[in-house]
Amino acid sequence: MSLTEEFFESLVSDINSQRIELPTLPEVALKIRDTVAKDDVSAKEVSDVISSDAAMSARLLQVVNSPLYRGAQLIDDVNRAVARLGFTTTRDLVTGLAMRQMFQATTEATDTRLRNIWEHSTQVASISQMLAKTFTRLKPDQAMLGGLIHDIGALPILVRAEDSDELMNDLDLLDNMIRELHPRVGTLILDSWHFPDELIAVVAEHENLSYDSGEKITYVDVIQVANIQSHLGTDHYLANIDLNDVPSCVKLGLAGDVDVVDIDGYEVVDEMNQILSA
């Protein structure tokens, strides 16, 4: 058995025996999901949950007034924001905005990696949101959430790695471990959160560039393309692949020489990335 598989089995064993806990959603995200799930819930009930968190309220107002969502009039209170967005979009946006709280670490090595993962995730989320709106009939807010959680499996791996001198002394080995295992670990996390199958598929398949769901465009397709786009101009291996060989790129019409950065409206991506990164 390879070292990677040994690590994975040990991690799963620790999770099952509760020696290590899977990440849990931040409190405001849990509350808003429970509230929206109620029968006959009112906009006031939803807005009251959000308003109890001043920082979340401010960030949600930033989003609703961003180019992707804003209307003719400025929205300056949470209740009106919820009314404009609707309950499902509000739930997904609040969940996504709350994710930043989860990317905390106790050592310098893991802190650097968590910060890098979060920065990458916000970029993928912002591109995914724009791709969904521009090229598909998928929900932009769901695509954004998919981008934010696509690498969530790295969190327990980093927590577990802090107890391993071998991994802490060989950061290349740690990075390879994360790359190989985070889709499987991420699937465990989203299962525990009772997320929809379409988002669990994002976590499970976003690294599988041969993934092909058929003619129908899925959130996996959107997040895969966004992930590739986020690495263009770097030395990452995804920056050098032939997009014509990636079914998701072909399905979205972004194979060949097309670059999302050149598409009108990319300023929406930049603004949303700034909001998510804050």
Domain termination residue (choose one: 85, 102, 119): 102
Mean pLDDT, range 229-257, rounded to an integer: 85
What is the pTM assigned to this prediction? Answer: 0.90
For residue 137, pLDDT beyond 90: yes
pLDDT: is 82 or 270 the higher one?
82
Domain termination residue (choose one: 79, 102, 125): 102
pLDDT at 28: 93
Rounded mean pLDDT of the chain? 88
For residue 244, pLDDT beyond 80: yes
Number of domains in the chain: 2
* Domain assignment present for 2: no
pLDDT at 98: 92
Where residue 69 falls among pLDDT bands split at 50, 70, 90?
confident
* Domain assignment present for 35: yes
Instruction: Express each pLDDT in 101-126 by its tens digit.
Output: 888 776 777 888 899 999 999 999 99
Structure tokens at 182: 């985070």
Mean pLDDT, range 24-49, rounded to an integer: 93
* Domain assignment present for 1: no
pLDDT at 190: 95
Residues 139 and 97 in one domain: no
* Domain assignment present for 180: yes
Q: Which has the minimum average pLDDT: 42-46, 108-112, 129-133, 237-241?
A: 108-112
Tally of helices (H runs) and strands (E runs) in the chain: 15, 0
Q: What is the domain-level CATH number for residue 186?
A: 1.10.3210.10
Instruction: Express each pLDDT in 8-21 by its tens digit.
Output: 998 889 888 888 88
Residues 124 and 156 in one domain: yes
Residues 89 and 135 in one domain: no
pLDDT at 103: 85
pLDDT at 267: 63
Give the 3-state secondary structure of the chain.
CCHHHHHHHHHHHHHHCCCCCCCCCCHHHHHHHHHHCCCCCCHHHHHHHHHCCHHHHHHHHHHHCCCCCCCCCCCCCHHHHHHHHCHHHHHHHHHHHHHHHHCCCCCHHHHHHHHHHHHHHHHHHHHHHHHHHHHCCCCHHHHHHHHHHCCCCHHHHHHHHCCCHHHHCCHHHHHHHHHHHHHHHHHHHHHHCCCCHHHHHHHHHCCCCCCCCCCCCCHHHHHHHHHHHHCCCCCCHHHHCCHHHCHHHHHCCCCCCCCHHHCCCHHHHHHHHHHHHC
Domain termination residue (choose one: 102, 136, 156): 102
- Domain hosting residue 51, numbered range: 18-102
Find the farthest-apart pair of alpha carbons in the chain and give their distance in angstroms, rounded: 60
Give the residue from 116, 117, 108 showing the smallest Cα distance to 168.
Answer: 108
Residues 161 and 67 in one domain: no
* Domain assignment present for 7: no
pLDDT: is 266 or 154 the higher one?
154
Residues 72 and 176 in one domain: no
Residues 145 and 193 in one domain: yes
Mean pLDDT, range 30-35, rounded to an integer: 95
Quote the percentage of the chain above a pLDDT of 70: 94
Residues 162 and 42 in one domain: no
pLDDT at 251: 92
